[in-house]
Amino acid sequence: MMQAVILAAGLGTRMRPLTNTVPKPLLKIGNRTLLDYTFDALPDEVDEVVIVVGYLCEHIKTYLGENYRGRRIRYVVQEKLEGTAKALWEAKPFLRGKFLVLMADDIYENKDIANCLKYDQALLVKKTDTEGPGGRVLLDKEGKLQGVVEGTYNPVGALISTNVFVLTTEIFNYEPVKLTDREGEWGLPQTVSKMARDFPVAVVEATRWIKITTPEDLILTSQLLSKL
């Protein structure tokens, strides 16, 4: 069996005013929350979920309870929001062996995450079909992870980090990497890139990844999913 860590502590500022009273992971597409879509993506072998919560965390605790859809739920509160690496470090005391990390507010394909689990360490990426911001993934000559560079512009065809990781507790032997372009944040993709110097991190391309950032994304995604 296996653990998954879901990062759900953020303020959801770009979703306001929707997130003034509701945490972003509980916003809905149709009649289902973003968290429900996240749980859809979890492989069957995941039997425990560690959720890193922060903003309006009591809403998430009430919604999920101590057991949700057959999986034990454990909560960790990130009191100070300092990026994805520091969020994962909050869960460190409860993790063992190999585990999965994913965001609470994007939509992933179950089969893509299953492909990642074929490796001891992996990062799920998506080739972009538009220009735009994101963490651009750099590969070495063997196709393994070399680095992730955050930027406001990436060309068509760039590989973008989806922030889905398969990791082992070896990650905690590395100091979280402080982001130079974001004050007070430590990045998990950059920290995993540092680990990749010693342990090969496979880069797996996703068939689908829907990034939910703005209220308009909820509407567009609802329309997209209704056609499937």
Using one digit for the tens of pLDDT, what is the confidence trace for 199-220?
889 999 999 999 998 998 998 8
- For the chain, the average pLDDT equals 91
Provide mean pLDDT across the span 119-140: 86
Using one digit for the tens of pLDDT, what is the confidence trace for 152-172?
777 888 898 999 999 999 999
The CATH number that applies at residue 145 is 3.90.550.10
Q: How many domains does the chain have?
A: 1
Q: Is residue 222 part of a domain?
A: no
Q: Is residue 227 part of a domain?
A: no
Q: How far is CA 51 from the centre of its chain?
A: 11
**So what's the pLDDT on residue 26?**
96
What are the beta bridge partners of residue 73? Answer: 49
Radius of gyration of the chain (CA): 17
Domain range for 25 is 2-217
Tokens standing for residue 217? 């994304």
Q: Is the backbone of residue 3 left (phi > 0), alpha (psi -120 to 50) or beta?
A: beta
Q: Is residue 226 part of a domain?
A: no
Q: Is residue 156 part of a domain?
A: yes
Q: Is residue 223 part of a domain?
A: no
Please, which pLDDT band fits residue 116 given cuts at 50, 70 and 90? Answer: very high
Query: Looking up tokens 């770009």, which residue turns up?
Result: 14
Q: Is residue 225 part of a domain?
A: no
State which amino acid sits at residue 6: I
